[in-house]
Structure formats: C-alpha cells, structure tokens
Amino acid sequence: MQHLIPLDNLVAALSRLPGIGRRTAERMAMALVQDQKGLMRILANALLEADDAIAACERCGNITLSSKNPCDLCIRPRRDAQVLCVVESPGDIIKIEESGGFQGRYHALMGRLSPMHGVGAADLRVDRLLRRITDEKIEEVLIALGTDVESDATSSYLKEVLSTRNVKVSRIAFGLPAGSAIEYSDATTLARAIKGRQEIG
Amino acid sequence: MQHLIPLDNLVAALSRLPGIGRRTAERMAMALVQDQKGLMRILANALLEADDAIAACERCGNITLSSKNPCDLCIRPRRDAQVLCVVESPGDIIKIEESGGFQGRYHALMGRLSPMHGVGAADLRVDRLLRRITDEKIEEVLIALGTDVESDATSSYLKEVLSTRNVKVSRIAFGLPAGSAIEYSDATTLARAIKGRQEIG
C-alpha cells in the first residue's frame, strides 16, 4: 500500500475505537477518503461538538451536557434521593433507565477492580461514593454490577467498605433471564437462580 | 435513553460508516464520550487532516496527497504507460499494487453500472477513460472488475464502448483462488476455471 501519512494517521485513530481491528479501520478510512458527501467533515464536526458539549456529571459520573452539571438524573426532584445505584459506567445508567426498574439516583464507578489491568480501588470513584453517602444521607446502596469475576470482586470490596456505614447494601438479583428456559440455561445461572429463590403466593 | 443532541449527532455520523449499524455506532459513541485520553479530538483532527491533505488523482482517480496530483503511479516513469488497468475504486488499486502483478497505469471508474442503485454510464469516469486512451496512446485496457452481475455488466459495457477504439481489451482471469481445492469450489467458479483453461507444457 502506498503510504499516505494522513491516511495512516486516520487508520490509527479509527483502530482505537472499541471492537475495530486494523482491517476494519483500513476499510473505514478508505470509505471516508473516497466519500463524496463530506462525511469526513461531518464526522469530525460531530466529534468536536460532542467533545465540547458533553461532560461527565461531577456528582454521579453520568454523561451530561457541559451546561447541565450536575445532570438531570441527579437534580430531578421526583426521584428517590436516598437510594443510590452503583454501576460501572454511564452506559449502564442508560440501560437501567431504559428498564424503568429504578427510581433512585446513580453513582458510576468508571470501571471495576481489575488487578490484571492495573485497576485498583483508588482508580474507582469510591471516595466520592462514601462522601455522597454522608452528604446526601443515603439509606440504601444498590450494587448493579455484572456476574463476571471482576464485578464480583468489586461488589465484595464495596460491601466491605460500606459495612462501616449505616446503609443497607443490596445487589441486583441473578437468575434466569426473561424469556429463557431451564433447558437452555447454563449451570452457573441455574445455581444462582436457585440460591436466590424467592417465596411466592 | 436521555437525549443529548450532540451524542445523537455523533451516533448518526458514525452510523454512516460502512458496516456500522446503529447499535455499534451507539457503543462507539458511548466509548468516545467516556474516553479519558482525548480520542474524540485525536480522531476529529485525523479526519480534518485527511480531508485537507488527501485528494483524488485528477488523472486516474486514485487517492493521493493534494500536493501530489497527478499521483505517483501516474507519473512514475518506470511503469508501462501504454497499459491501463480499469478498476472500480482506489481500494482496488491498492490491492493490485500489493499483488505485484501489474506494472502499467490505472483508471478508477468510481463505481460500476447499477440500474438498481441509479448508477448509469454517465456516473462513471468512462469519458475520461476514452480521452486518456487517445491522449496517452494506450495500447491495452485490462479490465479488473469482480465476478458479480454488476461488474459483468460494466465489463460488457466497456468492451462495447472500447470496440470502436484501436486498443486490445482484456479482463483478469477467473478461476480457482490460490490454495483452494476442487472439492471446496462452487459450481460457478469451477465452470469459469474450465472455460478459461490454458494450455500447458
């Protein structure tokens, strides 16, 4: 391939997007430089606009407009201000909001404990969580992390840290996903569903 | 999902990249706005730089630096200036150059005939091809288009247009790809390989 440095730079930048390998980045870059409708400039402007206009909420870590900080979810009076849902990232907040199953406020850790990737407790927003529990008189912390090893470790760590505080700590339930059958469930999911069984009727 | 207009605009722009659906674009946009290493600005700058610095070669249609037009392949004296290889797009030029199998010059049509997508002969760079044949005293036109229906139609069309000119017209061979076995070849590939058989020994 003839080497055009601006093209190489574009491929390198695109390769840093999640899930985009070198071949895909090359295909994207070629499509962009051949595009007749100004897509390169449209995309560049969208990126610059988003970079200017979007910020992390200083309170919960959610993404918000730079001009609206703290974010809507933090200041909306209708929400239950005494329950904090702890998530890994802003994307999780969006998923939980879409579910309609939670009416309290959020706190994004911006990661999870991962010794393998050099992420320790000091890299997460735990200090701010503890401060919020005091300042906002939080009564319940709902941990909404996944089921992988790192999320389990993070959850255990939080439970320990929070045990010295006067708050109820809960974790979202694990069990069969909606629409699934026993027949197709894996052993770990089934074991967790049985362990988390609830009395009915 | 809370609607942040700059985020929506970014998702819309990313969705226009080839092979990127809405869900992938959303995931990319979320990763970009949460990125701590300035990736949004890096990508935006790479796009703006490429948009400024890269242009289509006015002669062959290949991508080139705006400051080098016509492109290197068009002006390099070592190349066989009397053989023109007709391709669909600049990406094809790169592939053929990588193969090392061609030493002449190129002409990118920037598309192929596609009545379904409203692409007619006037939308391709055929006029310029005819002008180049005269101006550059071309002796052979090698058509390097694919094996799909639209490429076949484009190839037939070119053959007809060029029949009035005093040039040899050839098309790249179709047959078994390197490293493949008869056992795994499809019927069309085999039929084409048999039709294109060459005498040996």
Does a cis peptide bond (omega within 30 degrees of 0) precede residue A90?
Answer: no
Class of B77-199 per CATH? alpha beta
Say how far apart CA A119 and CA A48 lie, in whole Å.
Answer: 29
pLDDT of residue A3: 74
- B42–A10: do the CB atoms touch at under 8 Å? no
Contact B162/B169 with Cβ under 8 angstroms? Answer: yes
The alpha carbon of residue B119 is apart from the nearest alpha carbon of chain A, in Å, by 14
- Tens-digit pLDDT string for chain B (201 aa): 457 999 999 999 999 998 899 999 999 999 999 888 899 999 999 999 999 999 999 999 999 999 999 999 999 888 889 999 999 999 899 889 888 889 999 999 999 999 898 999 999 999 999 999 999 999 999 999 988 899 999 999 999 999 999 999 999 988 888 888 888 888 888 888 888 888 776
**DSSP helix/strand/coil, A11:** helix
How many Å lie between the alpha carbon of A53 and the closest alpha carbon of chain B?
7
Chosen from A37, A47, A89, A124 to mutate, greatest number of chain B CBs within 10 A: A47
pLDDT for A80 beyond 60: yes
What pLDDT sits at residue B158?
A: 95
Q: Which of B7, B16, B36, B43 to mutate to test the interface with A (most CBs of A within 10 A)?
A: B43
Do B47 and A51 lie within an 8 Å CB cutoff? no
User: Is the separation of the CB atoms in B6 and A50 below 8 Å?
Assistant: yes
Residues of chain B in contact with residue A28, where contact means CB-CB under 8 angstroms, are 17-20
The separation between CA B157 and the C-alpha centre of its own chain, rounded to angstroms, equals 18
Substitution target from A28, A51, A52, A66 for chain B, most B beta carbons within 10 A:
A51
Asked if the Cβ–Cβ distance from B41 to A51 is below 8 Å, we say yes
Of B190 and A201, the structure prediction assigns the larger pLDDT to B190
Q: A1 pLDDT exceeds 70?
A: no
Question: Is the whole model's pTM more than 0.80, yes or no?
Answer: no
CB–CB contact A18 B6 (8 Å): no
Contact B28 A6 (CB under 8 A): no
The sign of the CA dihedral A36, A40, A42, A43 is: positive
Mean pLDDT of chain A: 91
**Closest CB to A27 among B9, B18, B27:** B18
CB contact under 8 A, A89 and B14: no
For A132-171, the pLDDT digits (tens) are 999 999 999 999 998 889 999 999 999 999 999 999 999 9
What residue segments make up the domains of chain A, in order of their start? 77-199
Closest alpha carbon to A84 in A137, A45, A122, A121 = A137
- Please choose, from the candidates A23, A41, A47, the residue with its C-alpha nearest in 3D space to the C-alpha of residue B7: A47
Phi, psi of B136 (to 5 degrees): -100, 10
Question: Which residues neighbour B81 within 8 Å (Cβ) at sequence distance 6 or greater?
Answer: B104, B105, B136
Predicted pLDDT at B2: 58
Distance from CA of A198 to the nearest CA of B (A): 31
- Looking at residue B182, what is its pLDDT? 83
Q: What is the ipTM of this complex?
A: 0.78
Rounded CA-CA distance B158/B122 in Å is 12
Kindly compute the dihedral angle of the four CA atoms of residues A135, A136, A140, A146, in this order, to the nearest 10 degrees. -90
How many contacts does A have with B, using Cβ atoms within 8 A? 171
